[in-house]
């Protein structure tokens, strides 16, 4: 990433403009990856995705930063029923007003170590022996994307003039129904649980209770709402193809994450046959 002395961590608070100014001063490129999956007692979605994003963009402009990369989210929409997606869209608008040449990056559903995708399923496997709850009968269409692929494109944006003032959407190469992804995960884990469809009202009630009981909730009511939103690519947006990046498929990566939740007797069990069940187009039916 950098030679000795080239990476200097700087502590800042998004509510303190002086600290933000110190953090971005003398920078050629600034990446804003700040976001929250759920409201906390300290920050709401609006404060994090709109107010803070606009403040950072304004200070970058005032400090003469040449390039700003703002990471938003796929399916961001000012009319969304999800507060997360609605505020992400409002944040994009606010940032563009302050820094017109900003590059907007919208990743799809990302997965990787310490994610809130595979690890959430793994938590359900570990603590809910009856099965994994799913919303919308598992019919929601998603395009999971590996976080390493997204990071690789973000690194390329430092010197890529094509991305200035553009919107980039980074989503996985294959589309799946969420229910099939859950079944795939359970098969690779060698677990006997099943996917359990829940009504939205029940899912939100459970998530609300978990939010109260847990310091870091496994799922929030807004995340339940997002499980009813299909991943829909935006026509005209730049994608992995525009940066000559071939993203990993779920089939190529799933054992790295699902394997962590296998019973110990199956840790070294082969999984090729399981993967082959899901590599056809039938995987999304």
- Mean pLDDT, range 164-188, rounded to an integer: 94
Query: pLDDT of 236-269, one tens digit each?
Result: 999 999 999 999 999 999 999 999 999 888 888 8
Residue 76 has pLDDT above 50, yes or no: yes
Separation between Cα atoms, residue 247 and residue 151, nearest integer Å: 11
Tokens describing residue 197: 């469809």
Position 5 confidence tier, pLDDT thresholds 50, 70, 90: low
Q: What is the pLDDT of the chain when averaged over all its residues?
A: 91
Percent of the chain whose pLDDT exceeds 70? 95
Antiparallel, parallel or unpaired: β 103-107 and 167-170: parallel
Contact 79, 128 (CB under 8 A): no
Contact 160, 262 (CB under 8 A): no
The number of beta carbons lying within 10 Å of the beta carbon of residue 102 is: 25
Q: What angle do the packed helices 118-127 and 250-258 form, to 10 degrees?
A: 40
Residue 54 has pLDDT above 80, yes or no: yes
pLDDT given for residue 214 in this prediction: 84
Separation between Cα atoms, residue 57 and residue 77, nearest integer Å: 20
Nearest one of 1, 29, 33 to 14, comparing CA atoms:
33
Separation between Cα atoms, residue 199 and residue 174, nearest integer Å: 27
pLDDT given for residue 129 in this prediction: 81
Residue 142 has pLDDT above 90, yes or no: yes
Which residues is 111 bridged to in the sheet? 146
Query: pLDDT of 200-230, one tens digit each?
Result: 999 999 999 988 888 888 999 999 999 999 9
The alpha helices in the chain, defined as continuous H runs, are 17-24, 45, 52-62, 83-98, 118-127, 147-156, 178-189, 200-213, 221-226, 250-258, 272-277
């Amino acid at each position: 990433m950098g030679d000795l002395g080239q990476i200097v961590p700087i502590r800042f608070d998004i509510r303190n403009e002086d600290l933000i100014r110190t953090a971005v001063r003398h920078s050629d490129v600034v990446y804003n990856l700040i976001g929250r999956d759920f409201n906390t007692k300290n920050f709401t979605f609006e404060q994090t995705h709109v107010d803070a994003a606009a403040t950072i963009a304004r200070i970058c402009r005032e400090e003469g930063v040449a390039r700003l990369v703002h990471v938003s989210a796929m399916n961001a929409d000012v009319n969304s029923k999800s507060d997360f997606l609605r505020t992400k869209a409002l944040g994009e608008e606010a940032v563009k007003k302050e820094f017109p040449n900003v590059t907007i990056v919208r990743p799809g559903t990302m997965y990787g170590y310490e994610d809130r995708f595979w690890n959430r399923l793994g938590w359900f496997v570990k603590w809910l022996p009856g099965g994994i709850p799913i919303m919308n009968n598992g019919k929601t269409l998603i395009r999971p994307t590996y976080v390493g692929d997204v990071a690789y494109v973000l690194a390329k944006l430092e010197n890529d003039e094509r991305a200035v003032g553009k919107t980039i959407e980074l989503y996985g190469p294959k589309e799946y129904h969420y229910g099939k992804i859950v079944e795939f995960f359970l098969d690779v884990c060698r677990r006997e649980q099943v996917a359990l469809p829940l009504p939205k009202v029940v899912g939100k009630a459970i998530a609300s209770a978990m939010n109260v009981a847990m310091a870091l909730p496994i799922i929030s009511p807004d995340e339940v709402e997002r499980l009813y939103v299909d991943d829909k690519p935006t026509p005209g947006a730049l994608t992995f193809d525009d940066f000559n990046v071939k993203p990993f498929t779920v089939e190529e990566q799933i054992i790295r994450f699902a394997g962590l939740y296998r019973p110990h007797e199956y840790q070294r069990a082969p999984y090729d046959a399981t993967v082959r069940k899901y590599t056809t187009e039938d995987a999304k039916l």
